[in-house]
Chains A and B, each alone.
Chain A
Amino acid sequence: MTALTKKIRKPNWKASMLILLLCLLALLAAYTFLFLKHDADAVDLNSQLMPMSFDHPFGTDHLGRDVLTRILLGAQLTVGYAFMALLAAIAIGLPIGLIAGYKGGRLERILMRIADTFLAFPDTIVAIVLSGLLGPGIENLLLAIVFVKWVNYARLVRSTVVSERQKEYISMAKINGLGDGQIIRKHLFPHIIGNVLVLASLDLGKIILLISSLSYIGLGAQPPAPEWGAMLNDARPYFQSMPALMIYPGLAIVTVVLISNVLGDYLRDKFDVKKEVQS
Chain B
Amino acid sequence: MSVLEVKKLTVGTKSQPFVKGISFEVQRGEWLAVVGQSGSGKSMAASAIGGLLKPNLSAGGMVRFNGNDILEMPSKKMREIRGKGIAYIFQDYQSSFTPFLTIGKHFDEYQRTHLSMKKSQRIENTQQALLSVGLAAELSTRYPFQLSGGQLQRAAIALALLMKPDLVIADEPTTALDSISSFRILQLLAKLKEESGCAILYITHDLRHAANYADNILVMKEGHIVEQGEQAQILACPEHTYTRSLIEAVPILKQTSNL
Question: Do the beta carbons of B55 and A105 come within 8 Å of each other?
Answer: yes
Residue of A nearest to B93 (CB): A168
- Taking CB atoms, residues of chain B closer than 8 Å to A167 are 92, 95
- Taking CB atoms, residues of chain B closer than 8 Å to A4 are 99-100
- Taking CB atoms, residues of chain B closer than 8 Å to A174 are 50-52, 82
Closest approach, in angstroms, between the C-beta of A8 and any C-beta of chain B?
7
Question: Do the beta carbons of B79 and A177 come within 8 Å of each other?
Answer: yes
Question: Do the beta carbons of B98 and A168 come within 8 Å of each other?
Answer: no
- Taking CB atoms, residues of chain A closer than 8 Å to B97 are 169, 172
Q: Which of B106-114, B123-131, B189-197 contacts A (4 or more CB under 8 A)?
A: B106-114
Question: Do the beta carbons of A178 and B113 come within 8 Å of each other?
Answer: yes
Question: Do the beta carbons of B82 and A175 come within 8 Å of each other?
Answer: yes
Q: Mark B81-106, 1 if CB is under 8 A from A, else 0.
A: 11110111011100111111100000
Q: Which of A40-48, A124-132, A179-187, A204-212 contacts B (4 or more CB under 8 A)?
A: A179-187
Residue of A nearest to B51 (CB): A174
Q: Is A255 an interface residue (CB 8 A)?
A: no
A170→B55 CA distance, assembly (Å): 14
- Taking CB atoms, residues of chain A closer than 8 Å to B92 are 167-168
Closest approach, in angstroms, between the C-beta of B219 and any C-beta of chain A?
25
Q: Is A5 an interface residue (CB 8 A)?
A: yes
A146→B55 CA distance, assembly (Å): 31
> Looking at the complex, which one of A1, A173, A177, A191 makes contact with B145 (CB distance below 8 Å)?
A1
Question: Do the beta carbons of B99 and A2 come within 8 Å of each other?
Answer: yes
- Taking CB atoms, residues of chain B closer than 8 Å to A172 are 88, 90, 96-97, 156, 159
Q: Mark A146-177, 1 if CB is under 8 A from B, else 0.
A: 00000000000000000000011101111111
Residue of A nearest to B156 (CB): A172
Residue from B52, B56, B100, B144 whose CB has the most chain A CB atoms within 10 Å: B100
Q: Is A103 an interface residue (CB 8 A)?
A: yes
Q: Is A104 an interface residue (CB 8 A)?
A: yes
Closest approach, in angstroms, between the C-beta of A218 and any C-beta of chain B?
48
Interface residue SS majority, chain A:
helix
Q: Is A190 an interface residue (CB 8 A)?
A: yes
Closest approach, in angstroms, between the C-beta of B101 and any C-beta of chain A?
7
Question: Do the beta carbons of A5 and B114 come within 8 Å of each other?
Answer: no
Closest approach, in angstroms, between the C-beta of A196 and any C-beta of chain B?
15
Q: Is B80 an interface residue (CB 8 A)?
A: yes
- Taking CB atoms, residues of chain B closer than 8 Å to A182 are 109, 113
Question: Do the beta carbons of A173 and B55 come within 8 Å of each other?
Answer: no
Question: Do the beta carbons of A177 and B99 come within 8 Å of each other?
Answer: no
Given A1-B145, A182-B113: A168 and B50 interface contact (C-beta under 8 Å): no
Q: For window 33-74 of chain B, which residues contact chain A by CB distance below 8 Å?
A: 50-52, 54-56
Given A105-B56, A172-B97: A5 and B113 interface contact (C-beta under 8 Å): no
Question: Do the beta carbons of B95 and A103 come within 8 Å of each other?
Answer: no
A103→B114 CA distance, assembly (Å): 24
Given A168-B92, A169-B96: A177 and B55 interface contact (C-beta under 8 Å): no
Question: Do the beta carbons of A186 and B98 come within 8 Å of each other?
Answer: yes
Question: Do the beta carbons of A168 and B145 come within 8 Å of each other?
Answer: no
Closest approach, in angstroms, between the C-beta of A102 and any C-beta of chain B?
10
Question: Do the beta carbons of A175 and B96 come within 8 Å of each other?
Answer: no
Given A105-B56, A171-B88: A5 and B95 interface contact (C-beta under 8 Å): no
Q: For window 108-147 of chain A, which residues contact chain B by CB distance below 8 Å?
A: none
- Taking CB atoms, residues of chain A closer than 8 Å to B242 are none
A2→B80 CA distance, assembly (Å): 31
Residue of A nearest to B169 (CB): A175
A182→B97 CA distance, assembly (Å): 15
- Taking CB atoms, residues of chain A closer than 8 Å to B101 are 186-187
Given A2-B145, A186-B101: A177 and B80 interface contact (C-beta under 8 Å): yes
Question: Do the beta carbons of B99 and A176 come within 8 Å of each other?
Answer: no
Question: Do the beta carbons of B55 and A5 come within 8 Å of each other?
Answer: no
Question: Do the beta carbons of B109 and A169 come within 8 Å of each other?
Answer: no
Closest approach, in angstroms, between the C-beta of B198 and any C-beta of chain A?
15
Residue of B nearest to A177 (CB): B83
Residue of A nearest to B94 (CB): A168
A268→B98 CA distance, assembly (Å): 21
> Looking at the complex, which one of B50, B56, B80, B95 makes contact with A175 (CB distance below 8 Å)?
B50
- Taking CB atoms, residues of chain A closer than 8 Å to B79 are 177-179
Closest approach, in angstroms, between the C-beta of A165 and any C-beta of chain B?
9
Question: Do the beta carbons of A103 and B55 come within 8 Å of each other?
Answer: yes
Q: A4-B100, A172-B159 are in contact. List 15 more A-B contacts (CB 8 A).
A: A2-B99, A2-B143, A5-B99, A169-B98, A169-B99, A171-B88, A172-B97, A173-B98, A174-B51, A175-B88, A176-B159, A177-B82, A177-B84, A177-B113, A186-B109
A-B contact pairs, 14 of them (CB 8 A): A1-B145, A2-B99, A2-B144, A5-B100, A103-B55, A105-B56, A167-B95, A168-B91, A169-B97, A174-B51, A176-B87, A176-B159, A178-B110, A187-B98
6 smallest beta-carbon distances between A and B, as pairs: A177-B83, A2-B145, A104-B55, A1-B99, A105-B55, A167-B95
